[in-house]
Amino acid sequence: MTTRFFGAPIKRNEDKKLLTGQALFIDDVELPGMLHAAFLRSQVAHARVRHIDVAKARKHPGVVAVYTADDLGAYWQPGPVLVPPPPIAGVVVNPRTQVPLVKEKVRHVGEPLAIVIAESRYIAEDALDEIEIDFDVLPAVVDLEKGLGTSSAHVHDDLASNVAAHVHQTKGDYRSAAAKADLVLKRRFRYEHGISSPIETRGVVAQWNARASQMTVWDTTQAPVFVRNGLAAMLGLGERQVRVIAPFVGGGFGPKIMMFYPEEVCLPWISMRLNRPVKWIEDRLEHFFATTHERGQIHDAEIALDRQGRILGIKDVFLHDTGAYNPYGLTVPINSQCTLLGPYVVPAYDSTFTAVFTNLPIVTPYRGAGRQHGVFVIERLLDLAARELNIDPAEIRRRNLIPPDAFPFKNEIIYQDFQPLEYDSGNYEPVLDKALEIIGYDQFIKRDQPKLRAEGRCVGVGIACYVEGTGIGPYEGAKVQVQTNGKVSVATGIGTQGQGHFTSFAQIVADQLGVDVTEVDIVTGDTDQFYWGAGTFASRGAVVAGNAVNEASRVVRQKALKLASDAFECAEDDLVIADGKVSIVGIPQKFIRLGELAQRANPMRGAVKPGTEPGLESTQYFGPPSGATANGVHAVILEIDPLTFELKILKYVVVHDCGTVINPMILAGQIHGGVAQGIGNAFYEKLSFDDQGQLLNASLADYLLPTALEVPRMELDHTTTPSPLNPLGIKGAGEAGAIPVGPLFAQAIENALDLAQKKIELLEIPLSPSRLFELTRKADHP
Amino acid sequence: MQPDRHDIELEVNGTTYRRGVESRTLLSDFLRHELLLAGTHVGCEHGVCGACTILVDGAPVRSCLMLAVQANGHALSTVEGLAADSGELHPIQKAMHDHHGLQCGYCTPGILMTMTAFLKENPAPSEDEVREALSGNLCRCTGYQNIVDAMMAAAQAMRATP
């Protein structure tokens, strides 16, 4: 097989539609007779509902129906637990899942209480004002620690406390490791993530076709197959009666995989009852409450080291905010727990977390999915230890890196895929070396920084390492089919939200079948096109679906060669497949086009031979035994204005290793975007809640997403350590850019402002100019 | 309350449309759901994200902050009108494709329209000027770098063939 396309920066197949305004996004779905939904959402975080009066709203001109929880009857059910409790001894999990509409108790601001269905969204929103609600407001649980106190209100009345889960995992014996240590250092860390805030919000369009007994749902989901299966069960339909289409989706980043959102549950049911299509598009204000967040953890962590800075053990006890419900199980805190170990040899680890219910929106994975929190803790602990032991921050990292001959490296504890955490492959030191070289670490510290300091400028350097467990199971599949016009059609069950699947998968197929990338049409996210699958999450699309695409096209290639060898009465070895045709080696004029072979594979006369099947096509599946571990190092030089604390990034470097690369251009784009979100997380984006659970900055004017002025040019480089866990050697890369930015900023800002001199430590993210002002002022005026 | 209606006439991408609209109808909704020009996207409906940017008499405007009735008598341009009738992409569109300036593509139409107006006003911008001009359009996927590169390339291409 030639690799003309695999590994090349091929421009994207999907761009033209997107650039000309022809791509179908959810709000572009227009159907005859379509109705529009608006949701009445709670304005308080915690309250007991006495009565909802919708009589006036029902009479509003243009309103077709109004529903509350009672109207849903037996259809009203709490959502499913998406991820069951992991197989960890002693694990405590109290699953409490979200409901379609509030029945008795509101548990977070924005939770839906009623739905108005009207001839237009404008009318539906008018009628929301005519619904009257009578409720008793309760004290809200907002603070994690207070939430565990005996006097706290309870988010779920049937639980004895606000504990959502409790997990203890160990590796080795931390206590004896600490007893031998030259230095034990303990700190409290706070890490808040934020909202993914894709530029396209969520949306659902449901269309019941009574004549065909068929439900079609367009949904901005990252997991259309799961949504199809769940909806069929809820609606009492067979799976074949439900088609879920995830069209072009305007960014996902995790929260669009959460299910089932109340709107996903309610709209299909309403469409069946009214026998009309219904559309709901989330507005930006709703997005701040109705789409899931990823928020805060508080870690009490300690590290034990020897004099040379080698890690002997780490102990961590942390609290995790899970919000009002926990449908996604323990994925986020387990990612934090596991990813904390980083690329380092940590012989002893003792980690306990408690997930806490709060009266805040639900927490589910958002790009990084808890990994940031763990990486922040280990990276900051190493920085502080380096300072105590008088070792350079880069050097202390180097001394602890897992050596290349130690792979597969067993970390023993259970990961989010329920497998023991094991790094499949890696070669970490060259990545660190490259990052230090490109950022000019030594020169900056020895030459540039003293000069800049002398000029009164506050410029600092930071370096942070991370690993990322990617490409987890269970599996994905793909159907590759050569059509009689010679074009190749590929269908897979995952959804796409900008990752370039229409191109990267086409590259894999194009090499196997000897066609041009533009001759390959990819369909993603339509359950009628491909029936099975899991979804786009955990940096797994390229790894899992990519390998399924590869296997299916390999089988099609074999079929094409077999058909051609029959036609030419020659050996398959004498054939070459290229330029959309199969020809005899050395006789290029003797060829059959792939389209013609597809035609021959479906003859009008003659029987299908036993053991063969019609069509030039194949469906194959791939399921990795466990996740492939990618790794990387980010480095930054940044300047802080000592008066305003405005931050300017002077140089940003990412060196990473995600195994074999399909398309370096798409990969670079994924890294750029991840870093941009990481920068937002580290310094600009903060969800500010008051003590009653009200979000105080629920607009894009107040919740600050980074713009082109905040995100710098980045220099990227990579090393390649292929994963042994899949034939293509791929590791995922979708989240890598976002993961280590918090500790990188904390380290570089401390360095820029020389905060060690003032005995100030930055132990929290997000930071901001005002937060830096507060922290330094507190030190100046204690 | 019966919403009042107005008859309006406006031009979009060279075609004249006459419609009756409610006074409160946003221009973005009118373009998308009445004229079915759904290439203009809506991201925030409060004028921050820039996804819905179109040109009104050549000037960039957030169509979520303007009412359809206010467009009466004006000439509008949207993303659907950028490429030539032959299908050939506008240099700005082409540069975005060449430089991987889009991922999910949702913010892209607004960026294309903003930058069309900007590069007309400033045909030889510096990178800093491009970033400044782009800073009113939020993109959550790309980290902006490739968009900036695309705009520098587009400016050069457009200068070469005025």
Residue A607 pLDDT exceeds 70: no
Which is more confidently placed, A605 or A184? A184
Task: Collapse the DSSP code of B96 into the 3-class scheme (helix H, G, I; strand E, B; otherwise coil) and give the result.
Answer: helix
Q: Tell me which of A134-148, A341-355, A525-539, A605-619 is least confident.
A: A605-619
The domains located in chain B, with CATH, are 5-81 (3.10.20.30), 91-160 (1.10.150.120)
Chain B: give the shortest CA distance to residue A570, in Å: 43
**Smallest CA–CA distance from B34 into chain A, residue:** A30
Tell me the per-residue pLDDT of A715-732, one tens digit each, with 9 for 90 and over: 999 999 999 999 999 999
In CATH terms, the superfamily for domain A35-159 is Aldehyde oxidase/xanthine dehydrogenase, a/b hammerhead (3.90.1170.50)
Task: Report whether A415 contacts A351 (CB < 8 A).
Answer: no
Domain A198-290 has CATH 3.40.50.300: no
Tell me the per-residue pLDDT of A39-66, one tens digit each, with 9 for 90 and over: 999 999 999 999 999 999 999 999 999 9
Specify the pLDDT at position A782.
Answer: 63
Task: Report whether A342 contacts A326 (CB < 8 A).
Answer: no
| ipTM value for the complex | 0.98
Interface probe with A: pick from B27, B86, B141, most Cβ of A within 10 Å: B141
Ramachandran bin of B3, using left for φ above 0, alpha for ψ from -120 to 50, beta for the remaining angles: beta
Confidence of residue B2 (pLDDT cuts 50, 70, 90): low
By the CB < 8 Å criterion, does B39 face chain A?
A: yes
Which is more confidently placed, A305 or A417? A305
Tell me the residues of chain B between 46 and 75 that have a Cβ less than 8 Å away from chain A: 46, 48-49, 51
Tell me the per-residue pLDDT of B35-57, one tens digit each, with 9 for 90 and over: 999 999 999 999 999 999 999 99
Residue A625 pLDDT exceeds 90: no
Q: Residues A312-331: what's their mean pLDDT?
A: 97
Interface probe with B: pick from A11, A30, A199, most Cβ of B within 10 Å: A199
Fold of A294-472+625-780: Aldehyde Oxidoreductase; domain 4 (3.30.365)
Q: Across chain A, what does the average pLDDT equal?
A: 95
Q: Do B134 and A198 touch (CB under 8 A)?
A: no
Specify the pLDDT at position A130.
Answer: 98
Residue A1 pLDDT exceeds 70: no
Q: Which of A46, A328, A361, A42 shows the shortest CA–CA distance to A194? A: A361
Q: Residues A193-204: what's their mean pLDDT?
A: 97
Greatest mean pLDDT among A121-135, A249-263, A489-503: A121-135
Q: Which of A459, A437, A371, A435 shows the shortest CA–CA distance to A641? A: A459
Tell me the per-residue pLDDT of A231-245, one tens digit each, with 9 for 90 and over: 999 999 999 999 999
Interface probe with B: pick from A18, A201, A286, A504, most Cβ of B within 10 Å: A18
Which part of chain A is CATH 3.30.365.10?
15-21+473-622, 198-290, 294-472+625-780
The answer, yes or no, to whether the previous bond of A745 is cis (omega within 30 of 0) is: no
Q: Do B44 and A700 touch (CB under 8 A)?
A: yes
Tell me the per-residue pLDDT of A651-667, one tens digit each, with 9 for 90 and over: 999 999 999 999 999 99
Q: Residues A355-375: what's their mean pLDDT?
A: 97
CA distance A376 to A753: 20
Phi, psi dihedral angles at A414 (to 5 degrees): -85, 130
Which part of chain A is CATH 3.90.1170.50?
35-159
By the CB < 8 Å criterion, does B83 face chain A?
A: yes
Q: Residues A471-492: what's their mean pLDDT?
A: 94
Q: Residues A735-760: what's their mean pLDDT?
A: 96
Residues of chain A with Cβ-Cβ distance to B93 below 8 Å are 19-20
Chain B: give the shortest CA distance to residue A285, in Å: 8
Q: Do B144 and A676 touch (CB under 8 A)?
A: yes
Fold of A15-21+473-622: Aldehyde Oxidoreductase; domain 4 (3.30.365)
Task: Please tell me whether the overall predicted TM-score, pTM, comes out greater than 0.90 for this model.
Answer: yes
Greatest mean pLDDT among A522-536, A600-614, B34-48: B34-48
Task: Report whether B35 contacts B12 (CB < 8 A).
Answer: yes
Residues of chain B with Cβ-Cβ distance to A498 below 8 Å are 102-105, 141
Instruction: Closest CB to B106: pick one of A17, A199, A711.
Output: A199
